[in-house]
Amino acid sequence: MTGTGRSPGAAALAALDRVPGAVVTRPEDAGYDEARQVWNAMIDRRPAAVVRCADAPAVSAALRVAREAGAPVRVRGGGHSVAGNGVADGAVVIDLSPRADVTVDPDRLVA
């Protein structure tokens, strides 16, 4: 699966840099190849940015920026998709790997 929509422009990438609780890695950044890798190394896709989000507000903000830019988005949880669905060429990858915990609110039925 490749990205659909358009790659985010410079303004959208700059907006991602301003998202609190997010670390953005682009193709020109050190660590980009490691950030875009799928665990089994069978998939070789080049997203426009990998956004590692530390908390739910960072995820929401990164999704909003990507949506407003019309950019394709992929969400990577543990990075274990054999098919590589968590990464796409030209996409904004929301990387949830820093989120190693889950809190459940049974009254509101949300996690």
What single string gives the DSSP state of each residue in 12-47? Answer: HHHHHHT-TTEEEE-TTSTTHHHHH--TTS------
Whole-prediction pTM value?
0.80
Note the pLDDT tens digit of each residue in 58-103: 999 999 999 988 899 999 886 567 777 888 999 999 998 877 677 7
Note the pLDDT tens digit of each residue in 11-28: 888 889 899 999 999 999
Quote the tokens at residue 108. 């509101």
Which helix (DSSP H) or strand (DSSP E) does residue 51 occupy? Answer: strand 49-53
10-17 helix and 56-69 helix, angle to the nearest 10 degrees: 170
Q: How far apart are CA 16 and CA 40, in angstroms?
A: 28
